[in-house]
Amino acid sequence: MIEKIEGNYPKAEMGIKRLYLHGVKLHCKCPKCKNLVIHNMSEDSLYYPDMNKPIEIYFYCQKCENEWNEKIILKVGVETLLEEDPEIQKLVKEAFFK
Ligand SMILES: [Zn+2]
């Protein structure tokens, strides 16, 4: 059993040219006209994204043609598998016991 993880959110290099995050959508109101703009991360990929560092996301409002950036962070870390967590248990079963 792992008792401790040291440095579990490190500077990470993944070398991924295009990262698609399926099911992730960023809902943001246009700062100018308050129109809701949705950035769909399963369609707009991130290009060689940095991990555990702020990343700028480009937004464009079709209503008033405003452009702006918002910051997000991709966290890549190491965690132990908690046996009591049913979500994690499901993922482990799917991965190893097909
Ligand atoms: Zn707008």
CA of 39 to the centre of ligand 1 (A): 14
Beta-bridge partners for 71 = 56
- Domain of 55? 18-96
Domain-embedded: residue 10: no
Domain-embedded: residue 2: no
Domain-embedded: residue 6: no
Domain-embedded: residue 71: yes
Domain-embedded: residue 13: no
Please count the structural domains in the chain.
1
CA of 31 to the centre of ligand 1 (A): 7
Which pLDDT score is estimated for 72? 96
Q: Which of 78, 84, 2, 14 is nearest to 49 (CA)?
A: 14
Which pLDDT score is estimated for 32? 98
Which pLDDT score is estimated for 98? 63
CA of 29 to the centre of ligand 1 (A): 8
Which pLDDT score is estimated for 10? 85
Domain-embedded: residue 8: no
Domain-embedded: residue 61: yes
| Cβ 63 vs Cβ 69: under 8 Å | no
Q: Which residues in the chain come in under a pLDDT of 50?
A: none
CA of 62 to the centre of ligand 1 (A): 7
